[in-house]
Amino acid sequence: MNLYNLQILSVRVLSIIYFTDDVLSECDVVFLAMKPQYLDEAVSSLNSGKNPKTKLFISILVGVTISAITKKLTTALNFVGFDVIRIMPNTPISVGAGCTMLCHDEDALSTHVEIVKCLMSAGGACEVVSESMLNPISAICGAGPAYIYVMVEALSDGAVKMGVPRDLATRVVAQTMLGASQMVIKTGKHPGQLKDEVCSPGGSTIAGIHAMEQSGVRYGIVGKAC
């Protein structure tokens, strides 16, 4: 987050702490949002000697387990009585349509879990998963938007090829993707069933599906992209 955004937030909802010595004494919740290789440096810069009130650390560090973070904090700060909760959001959270994965230890306070769920749900969906599931499912929701963007671009290119203006093509394709996603979520039907409901026997849609299968789209996603 840049300084401008911090200043905007400080006017509305936040107090800004400029010195790491004050973080643990001033903040109820601390986000660990640096790159994993900088975790040790960040932890060593904190000071737990000023009556620390932090009871919850929320980690966005890729691949660093709850136990590893807990050990680093306990060892470096001689600090106990806190929870570490890991989250992995994706970029659509910036428009309120994100998908955040959340995991926590069994002994984490339920109030802390609810705080994080409430916080992240403000930016979209929030799913609680086991820590062993966090990395694989985060890879899907993290990289997934990029795969969808490629599909939106490809379908838009196809529409432009047929004479549709680019801006109209992109809007229509994006809305179609959004609508199809909502159908999966709200109907609870298997995507394959929803696909079959659109495909008439001998029609153009099933012909398009056949072309996609021949082109290896499904294999490319399942076998290579994931």
pTM: 0.85
| Cβ contact 101:77 at 8 Å | no
Q: Which pLDDT does position 139 carry in this prediction? A: 87
Domain boundaries, the chain: 3-129, 138-225
- pLDDT, tens digit, 9 for 90 and up, residues 59-93: 999 999 999 999 999 888 887 889 999 999 999 99
Q: How confident is the model at residue 47 (pLDDT cuts 50, 70, 90)?
A: confident
Q: Which pLDDT does position 10 carry in this prediction? A: 61
34 marked ligand binding residue: yes
145 marked ligand binding residue: no
33 marked ligand binding residue: yes
- The average confidence (pLDDT) of the chain is 90
133 marked ligand binding residue: no
Spatial CB neighbours of 125, under 8 Å, sequence gap ≥ 6? 98, 99, 100
Which CATH number applies to 3-129: 1.20.120.550, 3.30.1180.20, 3.30.2320.80, 3.40.50.720? Answer: 3.40.50.720
Q: How far apart are CA 46 and CA 44, in angstroms?
A: 5
Q: How confident is the model at residue 12 (pLDDT cuts 50, 70, 90)?
A: low
Q: How confident is the model at residue 22 (pLDDT cuts 50, 70, 90)?
A: confident
Q: How far apart are CA 86 and CA 66, in angstroms?
A: 7
Spatial CB neighbours of 29, under 8 Å, sequence gap ≥ 6? 54, 55, 56, 57, 58, 115
**Residue 127 is inside which H or E element, if any?**
strand 124-128
| Cβ contact 60:67 at 8 Å | no
